[in-house]
């Protein structure tokens, strides 16, 4: 599975209605020799990462945070923009609507007293399934001090109007009326393939994982969704579908593969709600992902 995992590392994290994610308590083939922000054009899932423009330029002193105008192709701007992608998926994503970062046009960073560092960004965001792209203004505040999630604001009114209510209702009824509970594993598989019937489960895993990536993101991280290791529908007496999910995230800076266990619900009116998230013990053999063939 390790080799297969790497075939899918650069897939999104990347979904209508206007569902939201509430956090309580609290891939496709990719050449890993390329820069982590570059994504090959290998089909729908590869596009989910959204990074279809020029690759990000590496910085000589990456731990020195730039202030003022930023190079849109370098890490500080790209990392902050990636957090906007996670925010949009976590707040507005669904199995029928996924968002990807298409490009960064400009960025500016400033220190804000004792609050942290604020990034002002002009970006292009793509709704993957409908292939709709919109230019958006966004602000990301990385707090200083205690570990807290970044505060994000994004002005992307038009792309959020993409209407998938009918598709979501049909999918919900399909899962809700099934005689047996659905499940899947290794999405995508070793060849970057996902069965059509399993794509909604893959998309649900992406949206739920965005809650984790939004919570964990800092100025020094760059997260991508790698794989849904397994996802299982659970019995539920409420008007929401419930899922248990094991996801693999790729932290591009450290090149670590991080395992998370999630419990979440989904319904068209309420969106994806992450009820529990737990990072699983570190797997040392996943430290350095092998190169894809």
139 phi and psi angles, rounded to 5 deg: -130, 135
Q: Which two tokens stand for residue 112?
A: 């804000």
Question: What is the Cα 139 distance to its own chain's centre?
Answer: 18
11 within a domain of the structure (yes/no): yes
Per residue in 269-291, pLDDT tens?
Answer: 999 999 999 999 875 544 444 33
pLDDT given at position 292: 34
Chain centre distance of CA 14:
4
d(CA 243, CA 176): 12
In a domain, 191, yes or no: yes
Q: Is residue 258 part of a domain?
A: yes
In a domain? residue 291: no
Q: Count CB atoms within 10 A of the CB of residue 38.
A: 16
On the question of pLDDT at 15 being above 60, the answer is no
Residue 263 counted as domain residue: yes
**Backbone dihedral region of 255: left (phi > 0), alpha (psi from -120 to 50 degrees) or beta?**
left
Q: How far is CA 196 from CA 128, 201, 202, 218, 269, in A?
A: 16, 10, 10, 34, 24
Write out the two tokens for 118: 């604020």
Residue 293 placed within a domain: no
pLDDT of residue 237: 85
pLDDT at 109 over 50: yes
Q: Residues 59-80: what's their mean pLDDT?
A: 77
Structural domains counted in the chain = 1
Q: What is the pLDDT of residues 52-69, one digit of tens each?
A: 333 444 444 444 567 899
β-strand pairing of 241-251 with 68-70? unpaired
Question: Which has the closest alpha carbon to 172: 107, 249, 243?
Answer: 243
Q: The domain that contains 43 carries what CATH number?
A: 3.10.450.10
Host domain of residue 245:
2-286
C-alpha span between 111 and 115 (Å, rounded): 8
| Secondary structure of residue 196 in the 3-state scheme | helix
Q: How far is the CA of 118 from the CAs of 93, 152, 186, in angstroms? A: 25, 10, 37
Q: What distance in Å separates the CA atoms of residue 54 and residue 257, rounded to the nearest whole number?
A: 25
């Amino acid at each position: 599975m390790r080799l297969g995992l790497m075939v899918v590392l650069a897939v999104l994290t990347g979904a209508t209605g206007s569902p939201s994610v509430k956090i309580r308590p609290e891939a496709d083939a990719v050449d890993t020799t390329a820069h982590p922000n570059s994504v090959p054009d290998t089909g729908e899932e590869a596009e989910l990462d959204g990074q279809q423009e020029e690759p990000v330029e590496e910085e000589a002193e990456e731990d020195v945070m730039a202030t003022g105008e930023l190079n849109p192709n370098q890490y500080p701007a790209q990392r902050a923009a990636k957090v906007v992608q996670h925010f949009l998926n976590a707040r507005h994503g669904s199995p029928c609507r996924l968002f990807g970062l298409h490009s960064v046009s400009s960025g500016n960073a400033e220190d804000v007293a004792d609050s942290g560092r604020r990034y002002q960004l002009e970006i292009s965001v793509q709704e993957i399934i409908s292939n709709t792209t919109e230019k958006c203004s966004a602000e990301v505040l990385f707090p200083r001090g205690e570990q807290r999630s970044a505060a994000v604001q994004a002005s992307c009114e038009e792309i959020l109007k993409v209407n998938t209510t009918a598709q979501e209702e049909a999918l919900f009824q399909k899962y809700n009326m099934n005689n047996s509970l659905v499940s899947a594993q290794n999405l995508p598989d070793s060849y970057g393939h996902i069965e059509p019937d399993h794509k909604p489960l893959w998309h649900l895993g992406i949206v739920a994982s965005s809650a984790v990536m939004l919570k964990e993101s800092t100025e020094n991280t760059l997260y991508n969704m790698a794989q849904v290791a397994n996802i299982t529908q659970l019995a539920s007496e409420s008007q929401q579908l419930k899922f248990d999910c094991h996801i693999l995230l790729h932290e591009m800076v450290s090149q670590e593969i991080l395992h998370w266990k999630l419990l979440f619900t989904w319904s068209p009116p309420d969106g994806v709600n992450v009820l529990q998230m737990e990072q699983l013990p570190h797997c040392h053999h996943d430290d350095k992902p092998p190169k894809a063939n």
